[in-house]
Structure 1
Amino acid sequence: MTTSSSDSTIIGIDLGTTNSLVGAVVSGFPIVLADANGERVTPSVVHYPLGGGAPVVGAPALRQRALTPERTIHSAKRLIGQRQGETGWVPEYETEAGDGGGVKVVVDGEARTPEEVSADVLRHLKAVAEEALEHDVRRAVITVPAYFNDAQRKATMRAGEMAGLEVERIVSEPTAAALAYGADRKEGAQKVAVYDLGGGTFDVSVLDINDGVFHVLATAGDTRLGGDDFDRELAGLIWQRFAAANGRDPEGYGDLSALERAKLMEVARDVKHKLSVTDEVTAEIPFFSGNAHVSEVITRDDFEGLLQPYLARCAAHCRRVLIDANVEAADLASVLLVGGSTRIPAVRASVAEVFGQEPDTSQDPDEVVAKGAVVQAGILSGSLRNMVLVDVTPLSLGIETFGGLMNVILPRNSTIPAKAGEVFTNAVDGQSAMCVRILQGEREMAKDNWELGRVDVPFEPSPRGQARVGVQFKIDENGVLEVLARNLQTNEDTVLEIANSAVDVADERVEQMVADSVDHAFEDMEARIWTEAKMKSDELLPAVSAAMEVLGDEIDAEEKAEIDAAVAAVEAAMQTKDANGLKQANRKLDDATEQLAARLVEKAMEESMERRGLL
């Protein structure tokens, strides 16, 4: 094996929940590479043999899943960057809480991180590429779901590094798919939707493609929705029918052994595939339980009935992404299908209904993400013509400000890489530090958003509004967030490394944030208006009291009565929780004290001039 091309070649990898693929640019064309058996698709499964030995990856490992499920790790992508119990998914193999709140898989008493398992898959893909290309490879582009957060993206990069790869770029799967579909398209502007339903995740994006420039307008999705869920539903149905016919508890699926569940999942997956091309399949497992055999007829209607709740969830995300992108379905030039689950006829029918057009099926849905990763790799290495790729942030990023409000610094769907910042001041007299809470989400109040991290910025105790702290958010092309907080008095910087952004908040918050912001829009806005109005009242009342004390007898009885009445109205409104009423009371107090404020300024100027001997 030579190494002449090892430094220039960048491979593209689709690290999927169910299957993974690797490709490269060969003779100017992006292709998906096959292994020694001629297979381009590698199951994302790793089997750890009893007593040690090299891990078994891919199809041979998948065959071991039904025999030794406790030592065969699949869908590790669902665990990567997560903590114990956070995924809402219970695999056949053992897991435990790891360091820093993460999750580990346990095989024969040995704990491994999901990154280590993923590294075994990536190491195998690297070997496949080296065998096909006949030289070493060290650089790669790896795809991830669009809704992967910072911790999950970093964990994926760590997995690549463990496998001996330098990860040049992390690319969102729908974006990679758009690259593959759009690489050879004619020039001109068009908008497309990418509908990506794989084994473990669902993503939908709207992109603007114009003369080789790919701009993601909006994206949405669900990191726990995919073909694996369909398999479990089918496995449950097969069990229920078998149990009813054999005097077993139909609700006892959860009590089955890991081996029995693995057998059901294997036959369910086979039934699912066959129902895409036929109307009826017999699910068979010889000697499933003792001498009892599974032999249950499953129809396409049975299967599609199980799918309806999942298709409804997908459809809701599709409608939301059109709203976020400010695009009508009729404006789309095409709807691109990605992921093996889009082969299911009911899925394609749902897509056609939601978008009002038949989806584009011109690309192999299993290979299109990998091919897009290869296109991106080719751009980076210079082996393909230059295309510009612009990705976006999935949720707004900001910090908590005084009163518990969310102050957005980088709005949702901001083009990345991105950088933005603001300057903030201390809210109270004598304050000696500012706690910068980094938040992600769409809600008006900080408490309703997802905390990514926090840092304290110290400064000299200062009167209210005198200390200044600059906060800058920077997201690189991989979607990794860096926060810089600067004390503008000393120019001292604190850079916040967000290593485990999902530790304290479940992933459901990310997926539901946009929906929650819509559902609670009116009450959230009411809460924000109330908080801002109360902060204004808290500022006004002591200022008015101090001004009246300074001016004393200079205020006539009529003006004093008007001001007192306005103060009383503000104090009464503060007890009501009526935001608009408090705003109106504040406005009346502002009007009532306008002359008072002017006289106070005049008095201060006169006193200053007297001290300077000018009067």
Structure 2
Amino acid sequence: MNSVVGIDLGTTYSAVAQFDEFGRPVMVADQDGKYLLPSCVALIHNEWRVGTDAWGQWAADHGMDQKSSAARFKREMGTSKHYPIAEHSLTPVELSSHMLKCMAAYAKKALGPIAPVVITVPANFSNEARQATIDAAEDAGINLANIINEPTAAALYYAYSGKLDQTGTYAIFDLGGGTFDITIAKFDGKSVDVIWSDGIARLGGVDFDEALQMALKEKYEQLTGEEISAQNISHEGFDLRRVQDLKHSLSRRDKVTFFVRGQVIEILREEFESKISNFVTQIQLCCENALDGADLDASALDGVILAGGSTRIPAIQQCVREVFGKEPLSIANVDEVVALGAALYAGHRSDQDVLTKLQQASAAELSVQDVANKHFGTKALSWDEDLERPFEINSIIIPKGTPIPCSETESYLTVMPDQTSVDCSITECDHEEIDYDSRFIRVLGEGTLKLPPGRPAGQEIIVTYEYDINQIMHCHFEDVESGEKKEITIDLMKGV
């Protein structure tokens, strides 16, 4: 029988977990016996390497013109960025594919054949980034069952664990290497219903590493009077692997000592916290926005649970206390909860015939309802009374935070006499943008609805978006009088 697994494809570290034969989520170790695999790819002696060896090469490469490795590419998923590695030029999809191939290989070696896999993505990922993740899985030869939002996966594991009150409303505070998500969900036994999710796409441990690196550089320059080039900083003894280790130490100690270029530099935790204070402020504002979106006061929450290694930083835990007025709940390994939740979700969504009786019983107890992670709408025209002219707007049809599956309908009118067509566009945005601005609004799909000629303006066009549990959105544009229709299907797992 094929093994059921989930993969947490992270910015700095990735992990695999199994929904075992007893219906329990358990971590799967790599060939070195470790659960966390550095998300790094390198070409070493003409052989592609992933993980610890690649991470060491990346630390040596960082800041060099000629590179043989790449890391932190998850942040660029869905973009056109390329990473030069020796004579190669790889996209984030290709690099992620190398990661997924490696993880699938060691999972198969440990467990045997594997069933269709669940892979996690940040809740704030754009459709392009989600599509890029799906493409990476396909390139890696992985049969992908589903994707799941990372904080939702973490919530599912916490619900399964039985370490929370059986019923309550919790915030899932997910701060990893590259992204921040804050999700608010209701728990009822092993059921999770997401109420709202918000996040920051480019904020995480890698930003803290770089802030600490610059703090060390400044202290060295003050001590010696010698200037260190920012471009060559990693090759002057300040490489990010050493800096990351120092950051981890500052989560346990008030001060640490750093030896570099014959000098001894002492750095205090409060100095590090000062360097990351702007990031902490952004996180605080995002959490407050999430509470507003969920229409909840912090006092209404039963607790705040953590996911992601960066939540170990004392300043981050203090941020949680200040925003939510509660002590964060550290009741699981924050590095593993997303992968474990992905494994549970893989079991929950698996066909019954691939599960053992114990797995079936465990999966039957689980329930997850997520929400639309973006606003989905269409381009439309509105009338400016002052300027006496129409202007283009983004008309929201499915608001962010709407429980899925869902179906929403809006009515529009044609604007011109003898109008023979309507442009049908499906838009996505993070915030409720009304004025149409292509910097903040993405078009997921487009089409044209043909209309009969010779009619006056004001003909009704009905637009319905149906968003199902498999992240497929069926978009219907209908001319009411003639019955003419245009249908566009957006598979948020695969694209148009």
Please say which structure displays the higher CA radius of gyration. Answer: 1
> How many Å apart are 1:262 and its aligned residue?
8.6
Indicate which of 15, 18, 29 corresponds to 1:34: 29
**SS of residue paired to 2:185:** strand
After the TM superposition, which residues 448-527 of structure 1 pair with which residues of structure 2 at under 5 Å, given as runs?
450-453=441-444, 454-465=446-457, 467-477=459-469, 479=471, 481-486=473-478, 489=482, 491-495=484-488
**SS of residue paired to 2:257:** strand
After the TM superposition, which residues 107-506 of structure 1 pair with which residues of structure 2 at under 5 Å, given as runs?
107-133=85-111, 135-185=112-162, 188-249=166-227, 252-253=229-230, 255-256=231-232, 259-260=234-235, 263-285=238-260, 292-293=261-262, 295-381=264-350, 382=352, 383=359, 384-386=362-364, 387-403=366-382, 404-439=392-427, 440=429, 441-447=431-437, 450-453=441-444, 454-465=446-457, 467-477=459-469, 479=471, 481-486=473-478, 489=482, 491-495=484-488
- CA shift digits 1:122-180 (9 cap, x unpaired): 111111211221x1124110111000011111111111111121111111111000001
**Taking structure 1 as reference, are residues 374 and 388 closer, same or farther at Cα in structure 2, changes over 3 Å only?**
same
- Counterpart CA distance in 1 for 2:206 and 2:165 is 38
Paired residues of 1:472 and 1:485 also in contact (CA < 8 A): yes
Paired residues of 2:474 and 2:487 also in contact (CA < 8 A): no
- CA shift digits 1:297-320 (9 cap, x unpaired): 111111111121111111111111
Instruction: Note the residue ranges of structure 2 that are not aligned, 5 or more in a row.
Output: 353-358, 383-391
Q: Counterpart of 1:412 in structure 2: which amino acid?
A: K
Residue identity over aligned pairs, in percent, reads: 29
> How many Å apart are 1:500 and its aligned residue?
12
- CA shift digits 1:81-118 (9 cap, x unpaired): 12xxxxxxxxxxxxxxxxxxx22222123222211110
- CA shift digits 1:485-540 (9 cap, x unpaired): 445636453426589999xxxxxxxxxxxxxxxxxxxxxxxxxxxxxxxxxxxxxx
Paired residues of 1:267 and 1:283 also in contact (CA < 8 A): no
- Counterpart CA distance in 2 for 1:500 and 1:41 is 26
Indicate which of 68, 88, 95 corresponds to 1:71: 68
- CA shift digits 1:194-229 (9 cap, x unpaired): 001100000111101124331111111101110100
Q: Counterpart of 1:298 in structure 2: which amino acid?
A: I
Q: Quick check: which one's helix share is greater?
A: 1
Q: Counterpart of 2:371 in structure 1: which amino acid?
A: V
**Taking structure 1 as reference, are residues 143 and 261 closer, same or farther at Cα in structure 2, changes over 3 Å only?**
farther
TM norm structure 1: 0.71
> How many Å apart are 1:480 and its aligned residue?
5.4
Q: Counterpart of 1:175 in structure 2: which amino acid?
A: T
Instruction: Note the residue ranges of structure 1 that are not aligned, 5 or more in a row.
Output: 83-101, 286-291, 503-615
**Taking structure 1 as reference, are residues 232 and 261 closer, same or farther at Cα in structure 2, changes over 3 Å only?**
farther
Q: Quick check: which one's strand share is greater?
A: 2
2:43 pairs with 1:48? yes
**SS of residue paired to 1:125:** helix
**Taking structure 1 as reference, are residues 370 and 322 closer, same or farther at Cα in structure 2, changes over 3 Å only?**
same
- Counterpart CA distance in 2 for 1:154 and 1:501 is 6
Paired residues of 1:151 and 1:501 also in contact (CA < 8 A): no
- Counterpart CA distance in 2 for 1:394 and 1:234 is 32
- Counterpart CA distance in 2 for 1:42 and 1:460 is 59
**SS of residue paired to 2:286:** helix
- CA shift digits 1:218-246 (9 cap, x unpaired): 11110111010000001111112223334
- Counterpart CA distance in 2 for 1:295 and 1:474 is 62
- Counterpart CA distance in 2 for 1:499 and 1:110 is 30
> How many Å apart are 1:458 and its aligned residue?
2.4
**SS of residue paired to 1:20:** strand
Paired residues of 2:147 and 2:493 also in contact (CA < 8 A): no
Pairwise CA RMSD = 2.5
TM norm structure 2: 0.87
Aligned equivalent of 1:11: 5
Runs of 4+ in 1 over 6 A off after TM superposition: 498-502
- Counterpart CA distance in 1 for 2:479 and 2:263 is 69
